[in-house]
Copies of this chain bind each other. A is one copy, B any other.
Amino acid sequence: MRTRIYLTFILSLSFAVNAAAQTIAAPTTTATTAATAATAVVAPAQQQHHLMPVPASVRFNAGRLPVGKSFNVAVRGQADPRLQAGIARFLRRIEGRTVMELSRGLAGDAASATFVVETGGAGKAVPSVEEDESYTLEVSDRQAVLKSANTVGALRGLETFLQLLDSDRDGYFIPSVQIQDRPRFPWRGLLIDVARHYQPMDVLKRNLDAMAAVKLNVLHWHLTEDQGFRIESKKFPRLHTMGSDGQFYTQDEAREIIAYARERGIRVVPEFDMPGHATAWLVGHPELGSAPGPYTIERGAGIFEPALDPTREEVYKFLDVFLGEMAALFPDSYLHIGGDENEGKQWDRNPRIQAFMKEKGIKDNHALQTYFNKRLLTILKRHGKTMMGWDEIFQPDLPQEVVIHSWRGPAALAEAAKKGYKGVLSAGYYIDLIFPTSQHYAVDPIPAGSTLTDAEAAHVLGGEATMWSEWVSPETIDSRIWPRTAAIAERLWSPRETTDVEDMYRRLSVVSLRLEELGLTHEKNQALMLRRLAGGRDIAPLQTLVSVVEPVKEYRRYQQRPQTMLSPLTGLIDAARPDAEAARRFSAQVEGLLSDAPRFDAHAQQVRTTLMQWMSAAPELEAMIDRSPALHEARPLAKDLAELGATGLEALSYISRGVAPAAEWRDARLAALERIAKPKAALEFPVIPSVRQLVFAASEISRLKQLTPADWRAQIKTLSTPPRK
């Protein structure tokens, strides 16, 4: 599901590059105020809030519940250790934000407590896809009351409460509100690939905290790959000792992660990818392979040939013991066997395997893999697990009890659901591909217009964002996962009708900062990476550049800037973040400016300031690049940035004077923009369509001045289309 996904993704969802560019340009001016919007004034009913995911039902009322030093929490009904620990963490987070010391422990008297948490039970001992996560939260001037069937629902409600915490001159408060909430889908996951790049325990823990904050409930732990076997096996220690460069999780550590996740109402589903993606297994156990070996840990990215041999009984004996060991270690009732991207080349070349297929009447490699899967299914059933695998395992003969994990898309998922298979969607949620949040946000596991019956729809369990880790290190991984994954979390939790992209971005900006309180580094690590690249403290010009570039999308990074799994991930591309916020802001401002025809006043000053900043950053950038060889690859970008600034300023000047430039100017500028649009250092400028809009607007200013603002607004979209030659 790695390299192939791009094409399928494009075809099934029609996310062409131009469409993506337009999506970036789409948000209007409201988004620009999102950053400082954390303090909206409370007004009844329809007020803006910063809840993400949006609850199933929210109704604001007049009034507020002050949160002061006397704030305390009482529990009515049960209070198991998990709930108590959850409340303790909740209180520490309020303390952190408010700098007030609150009383420890629970209040004795629920009637007089500020906040009452009432839960019916402790919830399941092992977190389950069947857990009831619903809750209600009612906040009045006098008290807040959170009710849930069990502790997990209460944990979800505590996160909602934390997102409601607001402040103004009079102090901290929770607006009066009535919330009834429950998830739309029961399976809301984040896959973390710890195989391509190992991620230390603290990375996993802080990401579990962040997952809980946005109500995700499955950590899909992608533990084995061509590039690494990351889990200790006591039965077959050569798996991890020879397959991991010493970077693996001990079984104690795995238990620690499982317990940490459970404390937050999160399941841990392990994946042991086979029969392909298995090179690292074979380093210590070449006898499992379909070719004799020897094998070494794979350092490249892509699809590789090594595959387990599905024709040998010894392999199944081995897997029975290994999967038995893992089934005991991981309590979740699901176990993911991967199953993706096995091209069967080793099988084709192995005469013994060919003979086996002939003898058994197995017609092709797909059928052979289905044979393998069925054997696995028997093993997993014996160990009490439900088997799950990627799209490829969905073959004619596949037993219905297997869960399909789809990288192909909602249509493939619906097809499986109609045939009675349960499924989880990841197509459209590949956050490693560096698409903007809006694009992931538009992907629905059961899109509007779905023809699934209710019973069929119930087979669509939910979705998972996938953090494939070819190009992330512990230093950068948070910035690839967050904040975008919060919007995917919303898609999977909130009602289908929650689709306002502008409002999503407004809330996302607030959520992103609040995730920092959990130790997430997605915001703060950029500055450190730029300081290291610049070799000094003055990084302002570099920040200007990096704020308006994004890594190239899909799998182009590897094509344009080849690296291995051993390469440092400390370059400018690693410091750059997906879905550049400053670029979005600029696009919104340009759109606002052009919509303000015929005066062209709105945002003119902001747009001008930004464009001048781009121009003036260039000479300082040049000097910095001279000193820092690691930045040499950025030299053309600095030049491009200055040219974008100059082009925009020239266009702005024409627009504000109401004078059209010569056609030659327009053609030269458009040609330059096409040059600039070519990625350098695997980075690209998402602001190009906006600058192009300015150039078009300038060149057609005489005509455009005659239009009404409404007409003008309609024209703008067409301006971002490149000129036909």
Contact = CB atoms under 8 A, between A and B. Distances in A.
Interface string A87-104: 000001001111111001
B568 A99 contact: yes
Contact of A566 (B98, B99, B101, B538): B101
Interface stretch (A31-39, A265-273, A413-421, A647-655): A31-39
Contact of A532 (B39, B97, B202, B627): B97
A296 to B, nearest CB: 12
Contacts of A568: 92, 95-96, 98-101
A563 interface: yes
Contacts of A535: 38-39, 97, 167, 513
Interface stretch (A149-157, A521-529, A600-608): A521-529
Contacts of A567: 95, 101
Contacts of A95: 567-568, 570
A517 interface: yes
A630 interface: yes
A168 interface: yes
A675 interface: no
Given A516-B528, A536-B513, A568-B96, A169 B101 contact: no
Given A524-B525, A563-B101, A513 B538 contact: no
A41 to B, nearest CB: 10
Interface string A159-203: 000000001111110000000000000000000000000000010
Contacts of A167: 535, 627-630
Interface centre among A170, A172, A563, A566 (most CB of B within 10 A): A566
A720 interface: no
Given A513-B532, A627-B168, A97 B570 contact: yes
Contacts of A564: 101
A536 B35 contact: yes
A171 B535 CA distance: 13
A285 interface: no
A516 B538 contact: no
A92 B99 CA distance: 39
Given A36-B538, A517-B532, A98 B524 contact: no
A164 to B, nearest CB: 13
A143 interface: no
A96 to B, nearest CB: 5
Interface centre among A36, A99, A538 (most CB of B within 10 A): A99
A537 interface: yes
B98 A168 contact: no
A548 to B, nearest CB: 16
A630 B98 contact: yes
B97 A39 contact: no
A383 interface: no
A509 interface: yes
A169 B525 CA distance: 26
A356 B515 CA distance: 59
A680 to B, nearest CB: 15
A626 interface: yes
A566 B104 contact: yes
A613 to B, nearest CB: 14
A531 interface: yes
B566 A630 contact: no
Contacts of A300: none
A274 to B, nearest CB: 27
A598 interface: no
A566 B103 CA distance: 9
B96 A168 contact: no
A524 B528 contact: yes
Contacts of A566: 101, 104
A580 to B, nearest CB: 14
Closest 3 CB pairs of A and B: A95-B568, A35-B537, A38-B535
24 contacts: A35-B538, A38-B536, A39-B627, A39-B628, A92-B568, A97-B532, A97-B535, A97-B630, A98-B568, A98-B630, A99-B533, A99-B568, A99-B630, A101-B568, A167-B627, A167-B629, A167-B630, A168-B627, A169-B627, A513-B536, A523-B527, A523-B531, A524-B528, A527-B527
